[in-house]
């Protein structure tokens, strides 16, 4: 099996895969995509579930996505995971998408069914499961602040938290206009949150808001490098906080180190990676994911980085 396949491979697919012991039925698409650890989760999952097929990486450029997806459906693929920068293109390509993924503004999981392409965003649901696993409590009962809620996975998690009915939700972002627009959109379509606020990503403005939340989430890329700036000034963290860092670097991030110093409980993004993958599996096969096989595969891959 090749480490990474390309759009050109799809043009002569039967010849390309002729020597493989199992036919590819799932893939992760992106640009780049060689770093993705998804095969290390999903190939063990397929084996554990007794499903004949394998999971591959497929490098697609921006102008190749719209053509590649229907071609993959005809070649027998069950579905795909989508990583940067193709999540918006995946949303546009999907023919059936629910209201929450549309509000999240991106799709990261597709399932092919005839000429129908179903689209989902597993960032939000994966986050909910990860928080419950890490802290033993449901997101719906927590007051939550999301640092970097203006786009990407941060926006998806914000929408999910709102749909879960968090009693208080604080959207923190460097560009305040982005989260103010998201707040207005959520107020119009989601009614569960009792207290929905926006906040500039500055110490002075965060001080009051973070004092009134239970869970602080880092949805930015800060923490992937050892010399990154702090996500939140350490003196704003207390032992009453739960801290979730969506970054998974393979070690303790600066945010989690600061949380530990303050006496706060913390968790990194590894469980979110795992549960995103499990939810995708459930969409593809309408069956429970073999979660422990996927966990073992992820741990064995020594995965680092922010996303599947």
Alpha helix stretches (DSSP H) within 140-269:
152-164, 176-189, 203-210, 254-262
Cα–Cα distance between 83 and 275 in angstroms, integer? 16
Handedness of CA 127, 130, 132, 135 (dihedral sign): negative
Cα–Cα distance between 262 and 257 in angstroms, integer? 9
Identify which of 88, 91, 98, 28 has the alpha carbon closest to the alpha carbon of residue 56.
28
Handedness of CA 191, 197, 198, 201 (dihedral sign): negative
Six-digit token string for 284: 């593809």
Six-digit token string for 128: 């909910």
- Would you call 87 a catalytic residue per the annotation? yes
Six-digit token string for 78: 């069950």
- CA torsion 54-2-280-142 (nearest 10°) is 140
Cα–Cα distance between 248 and 293 in angstroms, integer? 19
Q: Which of 2, 37, 62, 87 is catalytic?
A: 87
Cα–Cα distance between 243 and 89 in angstroms, integer? 32
Positions marked catalytic: 87
């Amino acid at each position: 099996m090749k480490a990474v396949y390309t759009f050109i491979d799809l043009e002569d697919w039967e010849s390309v895969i002729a020597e493989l012991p199992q036919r590819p039925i799932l893939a992760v698409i992106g640009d780049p995509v060689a770093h993705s650890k998804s095969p290390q989760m999903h190939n063990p999952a397929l084996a554990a579930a007794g499903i004949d097929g394998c999971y591959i990486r497929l490098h697609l450029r921006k102008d190749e996505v719209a053509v590649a997806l229907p071609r993959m459906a005809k070649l027998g693929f069950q579905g795909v995971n989508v990583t940067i920068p193709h999540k918006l293109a995946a949303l546009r390509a999907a023919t059936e998408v629910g209201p929450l993924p549309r509000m999240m503004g991106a799709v990261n999981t597709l399932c092919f069914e005839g000429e129908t392409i179903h689209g989902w965003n597993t960032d939000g649901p994966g986050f909910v499961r990860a928080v419950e696993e890490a802290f033993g409590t449901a997101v719906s009962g927590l007051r939550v602040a999301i640092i970097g809620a203006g786009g990407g996975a941060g926006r998806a998690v914000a929408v999910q938290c709102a749909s879960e009915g968090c009693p208080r939700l604080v959207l923190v972002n460097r560009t305040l206009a982005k989260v103010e627009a998201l707040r207005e959109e959520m107020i119009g379509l989601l009614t569960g949150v009792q207290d929905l606020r926006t906040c500039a990503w500055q110490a002075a403005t965060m001080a009051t808001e973070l004092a009134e939340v239970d869970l602080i989430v880092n949805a930015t890329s800060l923490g992937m490098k050892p010399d990154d700036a702090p996500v939140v000034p350490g003196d704003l963290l207390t032992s009453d906080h739960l801290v979730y860092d969506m970054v998974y670097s393979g070690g303790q991030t600066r945010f989690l180190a600061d949380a530990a110093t303050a006496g706060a409980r913390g968790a990194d993004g590894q469980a979110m990676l795992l549960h995103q993958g499990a939810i995708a599996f459930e969409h593809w096969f309408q069956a429970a994911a073999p979660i422990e096989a996927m966990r073992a595969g992820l741990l064995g891959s020594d995965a680092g980085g922010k996303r599947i």
